Structure 1
Amino acid sequence: MHIELPEKRYYSIGEVARAFKVNTSLIRFWEKEFDILKPKKNAKGNRKFTPEDLKHLKYIYHLVKERGFTLEGAKIHLKEDKKEALSNFEIIEKLEQVKHQLIKIKQHL
C-alpha cells in the first residue's frame, strides 16, 4: 500500500485515517489491540503519530487488510518475527515506492 503524507514529525489521527482510507475508530482500536503502536498524546489527549508509528500501522494494515490475518494471527506474527518481518516489510515498501515513482516517470514520457 502506498500512502502519501507530507514529511512531518507528528500526524493527527485524522490524517492517518485518511491516508489509510479507514475510520479513526479503527486506528484507535488497533492501538488498543497491538502493543507495537504507541502514539504520543498531547495535553488534550489527542493522538500524535510519528513516522515510526506509521511504519507499524502500515505493517498491521498489510497483515490484516491485505493478507487477511485475523487480529490474533497478526499479533502472533508480530511477536514471533517482529524484527525480521518488519525489516523485510520495510524493504518491500521501499521497492514499491521506487516502482510507484518509475510508473509516474513512465507516464510523463
Structure 2
Amino acid sequence: MLQRTYKIGEVASLTGLKPFVLRFWETEFPQLAPVRTKKGQRLYTDEHLDLVTRIKALLYEEKLTIDGARRRLADAGRDVSVLRQVYDELKAIRCLLDDPPVT
C-alpha cells in the first residue's frame, strides 16, 4: 500500500506554519527528515505530519525551547523502547507460567 505524502506547502497549510519554519525545524529535529524527490522536493508522510503537530504543541502550547522540545521527543522514544522491553519480559514470564518445565 502506498503511503500518502504531502508537499511542504500542504503541510504548512494543514499545520498553520510557514514553509520556512518547517525547513528550519528539519535542521533542529533529526526525526523530521522528509523524503526528497530527484528534484529535491520535500515529501512528508503522515508520521512527519504527526511529528510536526507534536513539535508545534511542544513549542507553542507548552512553551518549551527547541532544545527542551528535542529532549522531550528523545525521551518519548526511549519510553516506548522501555515499554517494549517490559512487555517482552512479561510475555516470556507468562510463557514460563503457562508451560512450566518438566522435572
Note if 1:17 corresponds to 2:44.
no
Matched length: 78
- Of the three residues 69, 72, 75, the one matched with 1:74 is 69
Aligned partner of residue 14 in structure 1, secondary structure: helix
Aligned partner of residue 43 in structure 2, secondary structure: strand
The runs of at least 4 aligned residues of structure 1 exceeding 4 Å deviation read none
Q: Identity rate of aligned residues, in percent?
A: 36
Letter of the 2:41 counterpart: N
TM score, norm. by length of structure 2: 0.70
Deviation at 1:70, TM superposition (A): 0.5
| Gapped regions of structure 1 (runs ≥ 5) | 1-7, 86-109
1:76-91 alignment to 2 at 5 Å? Answer: 76-82=71-77, 84=79
Note if 1:42 corresponds to 2:37.
yes
Which whole-Å CA distance do the structure 2 matches of 1:26 and 1:84 have between them? Answer: 28
Instruction: Say what the alpha-carbon RMSD is for the aligned residues.
Output: 1.6
Tell me the alpha carbon deviations over residues 56-83 of structure 1, each in whole angstroms, 9 at most, x when there is no partner: 1111111011111110110111112226
| Gapped regions of structure 2 (runs ≥ 5) | 81-103
Look at both structures and tell me which one has the larger radius of gyration over its CA atoms.
Answer: 2
Deviation at 1:84, TM superposition (A): 4.4
* Other-structure match for 1:33: 28
Which whole-Å CA distance do the structure 2 matches of 1:56 and 1:66 have between them? Answer: 15
With over 3 angstroms needed to count, the CA separation of the structure-2 counterparts of 1:67 and 1:49, relative to structure 1, is same
